[in-house]
Structure 1
Amino acid sequence: MSARIPPATPPFDPEVAATIDRVMRGQPPLHLFATMARDPRLARKFFAGGLLDKGHLTVRQREIVIDRTTALCGAEYEWGVHIAGFAQKAELTAEQVRSTVHGTAEDACWSDEDRLLVRLCDALHKDCDVDDDLWKALRATFSENAIVELLMLAGFYRTVSYLTNALRIPLESYGARFPK
């Protein structure tokens, strides 16, 4: 698959380059990041929306939401980058990784807290809303700020999925692939 809009080529805008270098820690930029670098304003907006910093969620909670959201959107590019980069750190098992793509919240591989996160992603993807029962369960487990972060995270990665899918961003060579 070839990209619908080609990525920028270095040198990038200095501010954008510094942000990409900070995120990539000396590695070459992701295809998505190089594409965003075409327009410094859009790149700044994109990177300002990122939630990979230390916030109200654990790495595991964050990655379950990112992986499930991108899988539901069919965004193999972003799902694969996150599985390759964070699945081990998030302590996701092979069964859990597979479940983010082909499973449900009821799969035996998930803890009760994990199930809430998968249910949240499924509800947001299907209805762009959270029903009262799920909200009550979330409130019993997560702080208000954590719930806001979960909503922002799912929304941001839905946007990332739109970008990677619609722009036909080529898969990264090291990215994981959706399980069969």
Structure 2
Amino acid sequence: MSSKPRMSPVAPPYDEETGRLLAKWMPPGSDMEPLLLFRLLALHRGLTGRLHPMASGLLNHGVLPPRDREIVISRITARAGAEYEWGVHAVVSGPAAGLERELLDAFVTQPADAAVFDAHTRLLVTAVDELHDQATVRAATWRELQVIYDDAQLVELLVLTGWYRTLSTVITSVALPLESWAARFPVTSLPS
């Protein structure tokens, strides 16, 4: 990632409309400064307002188990080289969903068939890798996924992967700086 961002996120003090928009992206009662990603998206207020329901729906109202959701997010952001997003999830959402740091690091450093992944995790990692590399899931992988997930969950898995791939594209394209408190990629990583 470039050391100099290509765009500057909105900065405080925020005008009233921007403040309301950013508050929607933060957990209720949070006194934390809005994430740089949210502040970057706020450069396009109309789009940001339309994106929020999608983001909230996937994170707060999804039908995938939280652990599975975070596996998908961690792998796609790692594969896409979005250290910013991977690092935020590695500190906040991943551990909350029961993912240990060793596993989170493995999403960055290990191939899908690595011994560190149990069979369930390996299947999700394989599906994400196929979506990243070919924009589709191979028939054999799809059949395995159908054994575990219903149709609604499968649609969500595809959209979740695509959503975080989209965010990764924004993050890497603008060289968004990392949050000071977020995790960093392990030194060794897979090619994106």
1:16-165 map, 5 Å? 16-22=21-27, 25-50=30-55, 51-165=58-172
| Residue-pair matches, total | 180
Partner of 2:190: none
The residue identity in structure 2 corresponding to 1:30 is: L
Displacement of 1:37: 1.2
Paired letter, 1:4: R
Q: Partner residue of 2:5?
A: 3
Equivalent position amino acid for 2:15 in 1: P
Bigger Cα displacement from structure 2, 169-178 vs 10-19: 10-19
Normalising by structure 1, we get a TM-score of: 0.93
In the alignment, the residues of structure 2 paired with residue 61 and residue 21 of structure 1 have an alpha-carbon distance, to the nearest angstrom, of 23
Aligned partners of 1:101 and 1:179 also within 8 Å: yes
More deviation in 20-29 or 1-10?
Answer: 20-29
Structure 2: stretches of 5+ with no match in the other structure: 188-192
Distance in 2, matches of 1:95 and 1:29, equals 28
Structure 1 stretches of at least 4 aligned residues deviating more than 2 Å after TM superposition:
20-26
Give the % identical residues. 36
Do 2:73 and 2:161's aligned partners in 1 also have CA atoms closer than 8 Å?
Answer: yes
Helix, strand or coil for the counterpart of 1:80? helix
For residues 23 and 180 of structure 2, the distance between their equivalents in structure 1, rounded to whole angstroms, comes to 23
Find the residue that maps to 1:78 and give its secondary structure.
helix
How big is each residue's C-alpha offset from its partner over 1:87-139, in whole Å with a ceiling of 9 and x where there is no partner? 22122223311210011222222222111110110000110001111110000
SS in 1 for 2:177: coil
Unaligned runs of 5+ in 1: none
- Partner SS, residue 123 of structure 1: helix
Distance 1:118 1:36 in 2: 28
- Partner-residue secondary structure (3-state), 2:129: helix
